[in-house]
Amino acid sequence: MSEPEIIAEHPRRHAALAFIFVTVLIDILSFGIIIPVLPHLVIELVGGSIAKAAVWTSAFGTLFMLMQFVCSPIQGALSDRFGRRTVILISSFGLGVDFIVMALAPTLWLLFLGRAVSGMCAASFSTANAYIADIIPREKRAASYGMLGAAFGIGFIVGPALGGLLGHISIRLPFWAAAFLALVNFGYGYFVLPESLPPDRRSARFDWSHANPLGAVVLLKRYPQVFSLAAVFFLLALAQYSINATYVLYTDFRYGWGPQAVGWTLALVGLCTAIVQAGLVRRLMPKLGERRMILTGLCFSITGFVMFGLAPSAWAFVAAIPVFCLAGLAGPAAQAMVTHLVDPHEQGRLQGALTSLQSLAGIFGPALFANLFALFISDHAPVKHLPGAAFVLAAVLVFAALWVTAYATRHLRGYVPPAATQA
């Protein structure tokens, strides 16, 4: 019996999986809670100027993703050397302390510093993915990654709603709530979470050349298939920012939606995402296999983006949401596939590299799609009556990801792992 299988059969395995799920859920909740109030707190700290607040809020977002880009491979390399448990617990504790600092921040620069630390601690998502790769047999990893995706969906539903409710009481209360959740999670993990990476499977030393974003790309190049799939992760993350950057403005411009309509539809996105990740991934994986699951999800993503961009009415836009959320079939299968292609002692670096690429997309994506949206609703638009051009470009990016996936995994055409067919 291999070491991963021994760990997977550990009596505390279910408690460990529950903790990883809760960790991701609480991280998303804690970040979602502050979404409705952070811009208003910035307005307060800059003296009431909305224009200045808009500039600073954009800078906060860029800084957050930049810190993730830099720190994800560092955390991944540290977890390969010293174990996943230590890195996850330190990140959870750091996140809790950081939210306290942000709740008390009397000046903008201190809030700015807190946002940087949040980006550093949030890089633990990559370590959570590596933890799953350590303890779950390969044929069951896609379903486990689907559960992590469901945690994202649930957090996306509850977090902003809770933040809006608490923010109505006090603008700083959501930060205290986020700190409480993060510190409770640290305490729970300290007593429950076992280490998933035994000493004999850890890296012999910590190498700074492997702990920087460029070094992480070198790691990916050592595995040609992983390098190709990493390009897919980057393209998907970049396409996703078409929604992050333009959703509110686009739906307001085209359908006249206000905050309440946006909130309800985002809750629908979270609900559909949770259903797909927690239910459909587990059921379809044994039937389709990883390759066909990825390709199917990418086809739904293309369709959803096109429907978003061309929807003639609000109801047509809403109807596109469940279709688009079926794109969530691709992520867990892709995560599972890349873990099969990398040595066990490099799983942390792998996940750190993938998270860095997604963070890199977050540095450039918002400006790209926001400016494209602004261009196509202006008098200088190269094509008239196409305010959804950002979503159309996103569909093109996902089509490129589809082509790369089909080519890179062509040798797996029609293959479904025997263990998966017996699930």
Paired tokens of 277: 């990740």
Paired tokens of 372: 């494209």
Instruction: Specify the pLDDT at position 418.
Output: 45
Q: Write out pLDDT tens, residues 82-118.
A: 888 888 888 888 888 888 988 998 888 888 888 888 8
Q: Write out pLDDT tens, residues 263-310.
A: 678 778 888 888 888 788 888 888 888 889 999 999 999 999 999 999
163 assigned to some structural domain: yes
Q: Which residues of 84-108 are buried (b: 16+ CB within 10 A; e: fewer)?
A: bbebbbbbbbbbbbbbbbbbebeeb
147 assigned to some structural domain: yes
157 assigned to some structural domain: yes
Burial class from Cβ neighbours inside 10 Å (0-12, 13-18, 19+) for residue 15 reads: middle
What number of other Cβ atoms are within 10 A of residue 16's Cβ? Answer: 24
Helix axes 224-255, 259-275, angle to 10 degrees: 150
E strand or H helix at 155, and its extent?
helix 141-169
Instruction: Specify the pLDDT at position 409.
Output: 83
| Helices (H), ranges, 311-341 | 314-325, 330-340
Burial class from Cβ neighbours inside 10 Å (0-12, 13-18, 19+) for residue 199 reads: exposed
How much of the chain is helix, strand and coil, in % rounded to 5?
85, 0, 15
CATH of the domain at 381: 1.20.1250.20
Per-residue pLDDT of the chain (423 residues; tens, 9 = 90+): 444 443 444 545 667 777 788 877 877 777 778 776 777 788 788 887 655 665 676 677 778 878 877 777 777 778 878 888 888 888 888 888 888 988 998 888 888 888 888 888 775 667 777 788 777 777 677 677 777 777 777 776 777 778 777 887 888 998 999 899 889 888 888 887 788 777 777 765 666 655 666 666 666 677 777 788 888 888 998 998 888 777 877 888 899 887 567 767 877 888 888 888 878 888 888 888 888 999 999 999 999 999 999 999 999 999 999 999 999 899 888 888 887 777 766 666 677 677 777 777 878 887 788 788 888 888 887 877 788 999 999 999 999 999 999 988 887 655 444 444 433
Q: Which residues contact 379 (CB under 8 A, 6 or more apart)?
A: none
Cα angle for residues 332, 329, 85 (degrees, 5° grid): 20
343 assigned to some structural domain: yes
* Domain that residue 298 falls in: 3-196+209-412
Phi and psi of 378, rounded to 5°?
A: -95, 175
201 assigned to some structural domain: no
Paired tokens of 95: 């996140």
422 assigned to some structural domain: no
Q: 348, 353, 346, 299: which is closest to 327 by C-alpha?
A: 299
Q: How many domains does the chain have?
A: 1
Alpha-carbon distance of 96 to 176, in angstroms, equals: 9
Instruction: Specify the pLDDT at position 102.
Output: 87
The C-alpha R_g of the chain, in whole angstroms, comes to 21
Burial class from Cβ neighbours inside 10 Å (0-12, 13-18, 19+) for residue 253 reads: middle
Check if the beta carbon of residue 298 is closer than 8 Å to that of residue 395. Answer: no
417 assigned to some structural domain: no
Report how far apart, in Å, the C-alpha atoms of 7 and of each of 12, 196, 217, 348 are: 9, 7, 29, 17
User: pTM of the entire structure?
Assistant: 0.68
What number of other Cβ atoms are within 10 A of residue 116's Cβ? Answer: 16
419 assigned to some structural domain: no
Check if the beta carbon of residue 194 is closer than 8 Å to that of residue 135. Answer: no
Q: Write out pLDDT tens, residues 196-225.
A: 777 777 765 666 655 666 666 666 677 777
Instruction: Specify the pLDDT at position 301.
Output: 96
Instruction: Specify the pLDDT at position 3.
Output: 40
